[in-house]
Structure 1
Amino acid sequence: MAAGNPIRGSRVGAGRMGESDRGESAPRQRFEFYCANGHATALAFAMDAEIPDLWDCPRCGSPAGRDRAAPPPATKVEPYKSHLAYVKERRSDEDGEALLAEALARIEDKRTPRS
């Protein structure tokens, strides 16, 4: 039964796939982008497209430029900061002491029985 149906495994509407069936592709230009980790990424852009100076490297996420000899520096990765670290950036120790004293005074007022 090997010589049975000649279109087995095909679907309706499937035909040859070539430039004549799909039309002509737009003219393109290729550029290479290089990151600080030594990765190279080749990208194709339309001839009339504006070419960006920087592109994110798909392998490591660092910024990549078009100059192989001088790629852009890798971005500095900030460590995770807790809520307390952000509060300490905004407030001085004196502000913290004043807020603490105010909060303790409110708690003490709630605890004292009123006669």
Structure 2
Amino acid sequence: MAERTLRGARLGGQSFEDERGIEFAARQQVGYLCSRGHNFEITMSVEADVPAVWECPRCGAEGLSTQGIEKEVKPEKPARTHWDMLLERRSETELEDILKERLELLRGGEIGPAHLHRAPRKRKTPA
């Protein structure tokens, strides 16, 4: 066997690399306080954008930054209703005309459920 083989080394348990000549990235400690009163710190790179909110490692609640970083407020879109979407396609005058037309057909018995249909009137035959 070759003399350069490593004997007795555990799989994945030990690294034979040393830390000489390695320069670590600059780091900072960022403090957070959760709604349940837990204080905790997260280590981040100096270059990182520090978030205003971080999940508490103890309870999972939202922790707010103790460095005064504010949450970004996003403008909320108003909810679009069916009526809003309909008005994107038709004007109110068009909708009124369509409604009148459909009501005339409904009242005339041409459309709608069968129980609402009127029986056709019998014409008098000239004698």
TM-score range, shorter chain: 0.3 to 0.5
For normalisation by structure 1, the TM-score amounts to: 0.42
For normalisation by structure 2, the TM-score amounts to: 0.39
RCO higher in structure (CA 8 A, sep ≥6): 1
